[in-house]
A and B are shown apart, each in its own frame.
Chain A
Amino acid sequence: MRFDHVVEGDMLVVGSGLAGGLAAIRGLDAGKKVIVATKGKLCWSGASAVVGGAATAIPFPEDDKAVWMKAIVEVSDYTADQEWVRDYIENGYAQMEKISEITRRHGLEGFPRDASGGYWRFSNPKYPVKTQLCSPYEILEAFEKELRQRGAVCCERVMITHLLTEEGQVKGAFGFSYRTGESWLFCVPVVVMAAGGCTFKVDTYDNCGEPFAMAYEAGAKMMAFDRGGALVRPRNAMRAGVLDNVPLAGLPQWLGARFVNAEGTELSELMTPEELNSGRLGVDAAITREVAAGRGPIYEDCTCLSPESKKLLFRLKKANCRRVQVEYGLDPMEEKIPMRREQTEQTYVPDVCNRMGGIDIDIHGESNIRGLFVAGDASAPKACAQHPFPGVEIGWAMFSGGRIGGYAVQACDRYGASDVKLCRKLAEPAVFELIQALNAHGPVTPDELKEKVMETLIPYNVNHCDEEAMKACIAKLEKVAEEMLPELGVRDFHELREYVEAKSMLWVALMIVQSEIRRKESRVGVHRRDYPMMDNVNWLKWIGFVKKDGRPEFFTEDIATPYFDVPKTITLQTRPRV
């Protein structure tokens, strides 16, 4: 078998967002030969490229650690891994400082500072902890420069499809370039999987759970797929908000931006208390009502901000601001932007977000496969990131990238080099699998399969589902697999990428519902009509699965509570689910 590229190294980082980028830099710091394989452009791919907010919740040294522990553990309905939470609270700030230093080296500022020179932090009205501003584009730009200048082997537009393992030990990975069709064989003893999670959103097609599928096939223990949450969002809205343009929810709102109607009245003055409490949905309901009453259009108004805030907002939301300039010919900071009429007519659809489950890791970030480390959304984010308060997911990505990257470096020395001949042999079945896909010439496109999976999963994986509904969902997903998979057609390497994505999405969807059906209570993403109580007495457990004899074998694992006592109660869930 002939491979176009065979690359040997110490450490392969899959993905190059906030987590992967920092993990790779840790490898370079230690003098390792680091290879970065990424599906998009280096450092601009996946979830990081569309980071909606510009806030991150990282504990500062002067903060009360007990308050942070309580906030994170409680917001996760007690499912957070308290060991990891403690580590996050104690060492998160150091990783943030490290990123600050990297961005500074390239003349950029990863975390904006206020007039007094301290990091710009906000109190969060809903949670007792503070969030601080970060500038994702500047961090990504600095990561990209750092990796290129310091000689990391950067493989862009390469999709990793298979992990190569032998006897529970990583030997390498296999992938292909979806623009050229070239095959890539990586011979490495350590893989840091930082390729994001799986997101089922009506508008995001990029994070499709391939890291989960390939790790599962290699024998990794998967955890907490039942924590997928459901959100209800307007259908015709930009991701991350009600809004058309510079999404006012979040950062601009904190800075003082507002919505106004045609008469110049501020929308918040016209909203009912229920709407004010309902976040983006409430804003959207108010917009719809105002337009129906003839007081439209509604404007997004950043003109009232101070010059400093305008400058900052433009920096942090550069892509959106630029888009407004192109599409409207308006300066978003100096002119009010009218929302288009059709975008205020919304149909509300459930939207599922599953960045909560993932590959299980120990306290050193290693999975049950030796040499497979997992960071960012791909890890079962035991520390925090399920239904997080704003910024914890970004904080976890940065923290886990740096921390787990450090552990991976140590493992490079422990495991020694990988054997090229062995890797070639291990990659053969992977090649045949992709060849088989390329030989498929059916009428169904991978995009159609993705849509079908979302159509099938989303209505069920929302609040108030019960055993019957979940069983029906499983049956439907199995039918989709049975009917659509043999009908797929893959016409080029771009579609081969989509084929791998679609297949893993289908698999993740099945695993979500199969995990949820096993939780006989309501907790985080699962709110069951037939088991409405949150049962801390019997169900303070994680649900996981591992591949055995070609099928997933499910298990539960008790959640340890060394630092925060969980009340032994059986109560209704305390936090709203949508």
Chain B
Amino acid sequence: MAVQGIDYEKCVDCGKCYDICPDDVFGMFCGKVYVRDPMGCQSCALCAMVCPSGACHINVVRPKPLPAGRRV
């Protein structure tokens, strides 16, 4: 999955990632961000760009399915 997760030790609850994400990958609960739809992420890295504390972790490896159901 592209969004690996939030580092809560660094997260300052500013909600900027939730605010900017084009794909609605993040959700909010009690003022805290969580990853609601990691597969929807397209690695644009805007969340990492706006995060003031480096708490958003994104992987650019895209383990998407192969055509016609082939898997490696």
Contact = CB atoms under 8 A, between A and B. Distances in A.
Contacts of A238: 43, 60, 62
Nearest to A45: B22
A323 B19 contact: no
A451 B46 CA distance: 24
A308 to B, nearest CB: 22
A347 interface: yes
B22 A323 contact: no
Contacts of B49: 137, 318-319, 322-323
Nearest to A236: B61
Contacts of A4: none
A320 B60 CA distance: 10
Interface in B40-64: 40, 42-46, 48-49, 51, 54, 56-58, 60-64
A506 to B, nearest CB: 16
Interface string A178-220: 1100000000000000000000001111100000000000000
A252 interface: no
B48 A319 contact: yes
A350 interface: yes
A459 B67 contact: yes
A571 to B, nearest CB: 31
Interface in A33-51: 39-41, 44-46, 49-50
A239 B58 contact: no
A451 B65 contact: yes
A293 interface: no
A50 B36 CA distance: 20
A327 B68 CA distance: 33
A173 B40 CA distance: 26
Nearest to A494: B24
Interface in B1-23: 2, 19-23
Contacts of B69: 455
B40 A205 contact: yes
A231 to B, nearest CB: 13
Contacts of B68: 455-456, 459
Main secondary structure of the interface of B (DSSP, over half): loop
Nearest to B40: A205
B64 A327 contact: no
A434 B68 CA distance: 30
B22 to A, nearest CB: 4
Contacts of B44: 49-50, 319
Count chain B CB atoms within 10 A of each CB in A322, A325, A451 and give the residue with the most. A322
A203 B43 contact: yes
A113 interface: no
Contacts of A494: 24, 36-37
B30 interface: no
A280 to B, nearest CB: 14
A559 interface: no
A459 B69 CA distance: 11
B42 A205 contact: yes
Given A40-B23, A322-B49, A350-B67, A327 B58 contact: yes
B40 A204 contact: no
A77 interface: no
Interface in A46-98: 46, 49-50
A41 B66 contact: no
B29 to A, nearest CB: 13
Contacts of A475: none
Contacts of B19: 41
A349 interface: yes
Contacts of A323: 45, 48-49, 58, 60
Interface string A331-372: 000000000101100010110000000000000000000000
A455 B65 CA distance: 7
A456 to B, nearest CB: 8
A349 B66 contact: yes
Given A206-B22, A327-B58, A494-B24, A451 B64 contact: yes
A237 B38 CA distance: 17
Interface string A232-252: 000111110000110000000
Contact of A235 (B21, B22, B46, B66): B66
Nearest to A48: B22
A245 B21 CA distance: 19
Contacts of B21: 40-41
A245 B61 CA distance: 10
Given A49-B46, A447-B39, A451-B64, A206 B57 contact: no
Given A455-B67, A458-B67, A236 B39 contact: no
Nearest to B71: A347
A272 B59 CA distance: 31
B47 to A, nearest CB: 9
A257 to B, nearest CB: 17
Given A326-B57, A349-B66, A206 B45 contact: no
Q: Which 5 A-B pairs have the closest CB atoms?
A: A40-B22, A319-B45, A238-B60, A202-B64, A319-B49
Interface of A: 39-41, 44-46, 49-50, 137, 157, 178-179, 202-206, 235-239, 244-245, 318-320, 322-323, 325-327, 340, 342-343, 347, 349-350, 447, 451, 454-456, 458-459, 494, 497-498
Given A40-B22, A326-B51, 15 more contacts: A41-B19, A41-B20, A49-B22, A179-B24, A203-B42, A205-B39, A205-B42, A206-B22, A239-B43, A244-B60, A326-B54, A340-B61, A343-B61, A454-B65, A455-B65
Interface of B: 2, 19-24, 36-37, 39-40, 42-46, 48-49, 51, 54, 56-58, 60-69, 72
10 contacts: A41-B22, A44-B22, A50-B22, A179-B24, A206-B23, A237-B60, A238-B43, A322-B45, A323-B60, A455-B69
